[in-house]
Structure 1
């Protein structure tokens, strides 16, 4: 197993346990993360997002949290993963089953420098938001609104966390 594959396995095993401290050790100082809700730059923002998501899940949804992962592959430069998460979306209390594919780039020290998760936003929004997600989940309007709210939530969390 390539060491970068072991890094991804460590990351997802920690995520399954909601261990954001261990997840944070997998990222480079200049890490970048992008998905349908977040576009983050730097270790503080990227790992802050994972701390926030894990903390919220522990507080409001640990009873239903489940993460499975597969297809972990990596070499000296890149990696990929497939993961699925079952959780309660904290803003609405609705249950979500999200299916995600991750793409990674590693630095020379074997830390994640770029992480891109892709999932079907419309499918996610139908589950997480209900009728508004069903009707508007395909629109740039709702995607922008979700991104803005996610960014605001993260900034508030980071301000309170002060790390």
Structure 2
């Protein structure tokens, strides 16, 4: 018999491949805690709204995922999200390692890890190569992402 926690993460990634933010968000508990190097910590509906925003903007998007491993209520996996970054039109292949905590058949915590400097080199080009490793540039990337999410959420609520 397959592991139900691994099956949940498989369903989450299939929805991601299908550019289906609603199906991704449906895998989350209401009190989800999401964290990654760009958005920082997001809670509750904010995490689903991040996927809604990102996938609404997705262009030339594809996703591969591997190594789904479940141990008790914890699942780990790796994926590569490839897309055209909307601001610069540059192609990014972001290699992400994820850790999920599961409770009652829902994701209650997701922590995504990736190299923000590597991401910035792909997304921003020369500016990313030169400045992407600096805390000033990384904080600007984070600030822009949070600002974009807040704007998306404001428009969605209207």
Shorter-chain TM-score: which interval?
A: over 0.9
Moved more, 146-155 or 31-40: 31-40
1:41 Cα deviation from its structure 2 partner:
3.2
Structure 1 unmatched ranges of 5 or more: none
CA RMSD of aligned residues (A): 1.2
Which structure dedicates a bigger proportion of its chain to strand? 2
- Number of the residue aligned with 2:23: 22
Question: Is 2:106 the counterpart of 1:111?
Answer: yes
1:127 Cα deviation from its structure 2 partner:
0.5
Question: Is 2:48 the counterpart of 1:47?
Answer: yes
CA distance in 1, matches of 2:114, 2:41: 17
Q: What is the 5 A alignment of 1:70-85?
A: 70-85=66-81
CA distance in 2, matches of 1:82, 1:128: 20
Q: What is the 5 A alignment of 1:116-135?
A: 116-135=111-130
Partner secondary structure for residue 90 of structure 1: coil
1:75 Cα deviation from its structure 2 partner:
3.6
Contact map agreement 1:2 1:75 (CA 8 A) in 2: no
Aligned length: 157
Q: Given the two structures, how large is their TM-score scaled by the length of structure 2?
A: 0.95
1:25 Cα deviation from its structure 2 partner:
0.7
Runs of 4 or more, structure 1, over 4 Å off, are: none
